[in-house]
Structure 1
């Protein structure tokens, strides 16, 4: 039996995190492809996280924060 979709407030937070990742990536003039390389992920994963199409694993958020050289807390505040 599939689980219920997350509530709207969770989706809103997911979108906000994706927006902060996209903004930090833009400030550093990194493509999704380059960020993916630095974080050890694939470009599609970065895209899905930025677009809030997928819930990011904590490990992946840690990798993205490290690749962007920003505190994890800045991405998930």
Structure 2
């Protein structure tokens, strides 16, 4: 059974979260590689999340927020 794609509003929120992650990462002067290493993830996953191409697991969002030293709520509000 094929999965149903998420509605447009969900995709838009996903891109907004990715934009916030990218903005904070850049404010901190981090590359995607550096963030990935600190968060215990791979660079491709960080890239897909920032681009909104991948739905981030809550666990990964927690890792990213911790690596960026920001509250998780700041990334997903």
* TM-score, normalised by the number of residues in structure 1: 0.99
Q: Which residue of 1 aligns with 2:16?
A: 16
Aligned-pair CA distance for 1:3:
1.0
Aligned-pair CA distance for 1:8:
0.2
Q: CA RMSD in A?
A: 0.3
Structure 2, unpaired ranges of 5+: none
Q: Name the CA distance, whole Å, in 1 between partners of 2:44 and 2:60.
A: 13
Structure 1, unpaired ranges of 5+: none
Q: Which residue of 2 aligns with 1:55?
A: 55
Could you list the runs of 4 or more consecutive aligned residues of structure 1 that deviate by over 6 angstroms after TM superposition? none
* TM-score, normalised by the number of residues in structure 2: 0.99
Q: Name the CA distance, whole Å, in 1 between partners of 2:56 and 2:28.
A: 21
Q: Which residue of 2 aligns with 1:30?
A: 30
Aligned-pair CA distance for 1:2:
1.4
**What do the CA deviations read for 1:20-59 (whole angstroms, capped 9, x no partner)?**
0000000000000000000000000000000001000000
